[in-house]
């Protein structure tokens, strides 16, 4: 089972920041938080990942709370092309195989 | 550096036939993961392989499904005697190493349709 919970869907106005929350209250100290997105029926696309510190790259920012029980993905200026399903993933360290377990994700719709 | 290559992009089979899906990982990647996505559902883990070894097949159906990643050539996901319920998108992902901080790179998938 996925170790994360996300809202089912969200809307965001074009040009505004999209803030996608994720709860991962059972995360272990050495487990990373990953974000991927899937546009329509394409393969999942890597966005960003982090362990403790906030991270930023050309696509997004990742804010992780101090207790690491939740995080927020921020798309600073959402465009129509950012409409996708966004998956927050914590890779379980106990399995030994480090497989990604996808939940149901958040369906983000960017509105013109 | 080419990304993860999957072929065919679309595959149509009749019930009872065999389906072979191929995945060439990114150059230098020796870890391959297969996922299945049913219509309107999320991705479900199937199997994780390293070169010549199956590491985790906990998501594979017990019958008709098999996977391999030979020393040379692509990884193959094989489905024997396909049924309509096998119709889905099958995604392959690769990574260069095993580790909690490693990210996976996904291919564009193979859409299998069983008539």
Distance from CA of A81 to the nearest CA of B (A): 17
pLDDT band at A99 (very low <50, low <70, confident <90, very high): confident
What pLDDT, in 10s, does the model give residues B62-99? 899 999 999 999 999 999 999 999 999 999 999 887 76
Q: What is the dihedral of CA B27, A38, A90, B34, to 10 degrees?
A: -50
Nearest-CA residue of chain A relative to B91?
A: A43
Distance from CA of B60 to the nearest CA of A (A): 13
Contact yes or no for A98 and B45 at CB 8 A:
no
| Out of B48, B98, B109, closest to residue A43 by CB | B109
Residues A104 and B9: their CA atoms lie apart, in Å, by: 24
Please tell me if residue B42 touches chain A, with a CB cutoff of 8 Å.
yes
Average pLDDT, chain B: 93
Q: What are phi and psi of B84, to 5 degrees?
A: -60, -35
What pLDDT, in 10s, does the model give residues A9-42? 999 999 999 999 999 998 888 788 999 999 988 9
What pLDDT, in 10s, does the model give residues B36-68? 999 888 899 999 999 889 999 999 998 999 999
pLDDT band at A1 (very low <50, low <70, confident <90, very high): low
pLDDT score at B7 = 96
């Amino acid at each position: 089972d996925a170790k994360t919970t996300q809202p089912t869907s969200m809307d965001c106005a074009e040009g505004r920041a999209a803030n996608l929350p994720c709860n991962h209250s059972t995360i272990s100290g050495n487990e990373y938080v990953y974000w991927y997105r899937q546009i329509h029926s394409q393969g999942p696309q890597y966005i960003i990942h982090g362990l403790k510190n906030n991270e930023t790259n050309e696509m997004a920012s990742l804010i992780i709370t101090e207790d690491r029980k939740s995080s927020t993905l921020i798309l600073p200026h959402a465009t129509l092309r950012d409409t996708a399903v966004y998956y927050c993933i914590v890779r379980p360290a106990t399995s030994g195989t480090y497989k990604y377990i996808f939940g149901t994700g958040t369906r983000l719709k960017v509105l013109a | 550096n080419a990304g993860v290559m999957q072929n065919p992009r679309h595959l149509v089979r009749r019930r009872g036939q065999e389906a072979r899906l191929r995945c060439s990982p990114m150059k230098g990647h020796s870890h391959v993961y297969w996922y299945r996505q049913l219509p309107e559902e999320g991705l479900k883990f199937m199997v994780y392989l390293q070169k010549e070894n199956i590491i985790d097949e906990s998501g594979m159906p017990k019958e008709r499904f098999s996977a391999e990643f030979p020393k040379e050539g692509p990884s193959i996901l094989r489905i024997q005697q396909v049924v309509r319920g096998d119709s889905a998108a099958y995604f392959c992902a690769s990574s260069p190493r095993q580790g909690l901080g490693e990210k996976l790179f996904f291919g564009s998938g193979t859409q299998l349709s069983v008539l």
